[in-house]
Amino acid sequence: MKRLRFIHAADLHLDSPFKGMSALPERVRERVRESTFEALKELVALAMQEHVDFVLISGDVYDVSDRSLRAQIRFQRAVEQLATGGIPVYIIHGNHDPEDGRAAKLVWPADVHFFASDHVETLQVVKQDRGIIAEIHGISYGSPVVSENLALKFKRGQDQVCQIGLLHTNVDGDPHHDNYAPCSKQDLIDAGMDYWALGHVHTRQIMNVKPAIVYPGNIQGRSIRETGPRGCYLVDMDEQGRAELIFQALDTVRWYQETLSVISIPSEQMLKDCLGEVLDRLRHDANGRDGIVRIVLEGRSSIHERLRKGRALQELIDELREDEVERGNFVWIESIEDRTASEIDLAAIMEEKSFLGDLLRYAAALQGDESALESFAEEALAAAMQGLPQSAGNPAAATQEQLREWLRSAEVLVADLLTTDGGGAG
């Protein structure tokens, strides 16, 4: 087996709409909108710089099957650059960009290969003076929903040639992703590949070392659910078929979620200063990238009452955002969630024989019983939604985490109101 070097990327989601970003200032909105394309440019630059033998893209090049012409032309331009550097690109279609999606009639370089969807196709990578350095096996999605175990269709080729499989799949039923082309890790191992280049799961993970079974994650985070560095793997395969993987960040806008304790923050000035420190730290960590952050305030402090008066928190967010717009590299505040509480000792009140004590004990019981919490929420939220338009959403579809957080917020609100109004032991 010959040594080789390649890049494994997946889930480019070019021209992703970034829902909820319409209210951003024009400069910030444009940077976010262009971020998937900028990450693609970084991918091309990395491939050229590292002189890789080829690039693998394991599905979801585009964000929707009705892919935009703009996205297709940008991708065409990128692979043309790679072709001029003698770097072929091997691509499968995923559930977001299936083969039956709308595609423009564009001319692609000869070294760009889109795998078929009706069978596992095998292509040989041939290099001058080196011969066949790899056999790449891949299968695309013909339509957006694929329920068949496609991994069972893969078969090893030549023994002395590196064998690579491209597959867009959910391995071992990851509950956080749609269960498309489901397979088990053992299915992949049994197929006899030396490297599995997977796509579909947006969080990078190495599921197995030899053979390497790898999700590189997406190249650019697109929401607060996709925090931290995003990019691809630079892979070196040795003569024994062992893969050395080096993660390479490609994202140009990075998403963060931060928690700030207000326990020692008694005033608005101190809170503003502490939030500024968080933004400065993230700016340094982003290393020249732009950032978007959701900050969660938690803990007990006298600042709690001040944040609940009028629009104090929103006004603070607005001022911090205005400062960021003027910076070369911004860290935009997506939101600040107020999970603070007053300095009331809720634990002590729970021991009291009082109306508030009874309420807090009931809330504690609901927190520990998922089915009881769901039943309570269904009844309470149904009453709250009466008369509201459908555009208000469907609170009944909330997750357990959301229900528990709403319950915690309700506990704090009720305790604040009843203690302020003199509610106590009875």
Burial 233-259 (b: 16+ CB within 10 A, else e): bbbebeeeeebebeebbbbbbbbbebe
Domains, the chain, with CATH or none = 4-249 (3.60.21.10), 252-343 (no CATH), 346-426 (no CATH)
Contact 409, 347 (CB under 8 A): no
Q: What is the pLDDT of residues 203-257, one digit of tens each?
A: 999 999 999 999 999 999 999 999 999 999 999 999 999 999 999 999 999 999 9
Which residue did the predictor score with more confidence, 276 or 422?
Answer: 276
With a cut of 70, say whether residue 425 has pLDDT above it.
Answer: no
Cα–Cα dist 284/280, whole Å: 6
Largest CA distance in the chain: 90
pLDDT score, position 383: 64
Single-letter amino acid, residue 219: I
Min mean pLDDT across 64-68, 182-186, 303-307, 380-384 is at: 380-384
For residue 385, name the pLDDT band (cuts at 50, 70, 90).
low
Answer yes or no: is pLDDT of 339 > 70: yes
Q: How far is CA 160 from the centre of its chain?
A: 38
Strand partners, 196: 165, 213
Dist CA 203 CA 197 (whole Å):
14
Strands 4-9 and 54-58: parallel
Enter the tokens of residue 380: 């309470």
**Residue of 257 and 409 predicted with greater confidence:** 257
Cα–Cα distance measured from residue 385 to residue 304, given in angstroms and rounded to the nearest whole number: 28
pLDDT of residue 391: 44
224: helix, coil or strand? coil
Residue 36's alpha-carbon distances to 60, 236, 287, in angstroms, are: 12, 26, 18
Over residues 168-185, the mean pLDDT reads 89
Q: What is the mean pLDDT of residues 19-40?
A: 89
DSSP 166-196: EEE--BTT-TTS---S-B-HHHHHHTT-SEE
Encoded amino acid at 155, one letter: K
The answer on pLDDT for 407 being more than 90 is: no
Ramachandran class of 67: left when φ > 0, alpha when ψ lies in -120 to 50, beta otherwise: beta
**What amino acid is encoded at 119 in this protein?**
H
Mean pLDDT lowest among 32-41, 45-54, 74-83, 98-107: 98-107
pLDDT grade for 397, boundaries at 50, 70 and 90? low
Q: Report, as an integer, the average pLDDT of 358-372.
A: 85
**pLDDT range class, residue 102, cuts 50, 70, 90:** confident
Q: What type of residue sits at position 266?
A: P
Confidence tier at 394 by pLDDT (50, 70, 90): low
Between 398 and 222, where is the model more confident? 222
Distance CA(222)–CA(244), nearest Å, equals 28
Region label for 59, one of left (φ > 0), alpha (ψ between -120 and 50) or beta (otherwise)? left
Name the pairing type of β-strands 112-114 and 4-9: unpaired
Class of residue 287 by CB neighbours under 10 A (exposed 0-12, middle 13-18, buried 19+): exposed
pLDDT reading at 365 higher than 60: yes
Q: Kindly report the length of the chain.
A: 426
Query: According to the model, what pLDDT value does residue 342 have?
Result: 80
Structure tokens at 163: 């064998």
CA dist 40 and 44 (Å) reads 6
> pTM for this structure?
0.82
Q: How crowded is residue 285: how many other Cβ atoms within 10 Å of its Cβ?
A: 13
CB 340 within 8 A of CB 300: yes
- Among candidates 349, 381, 379, which has minimal Cα distance to 364? 349
- The predicted structure's pLDDT at residue 350: 78
Q: Mean pLDDT of all residues in the chain?
A: 90
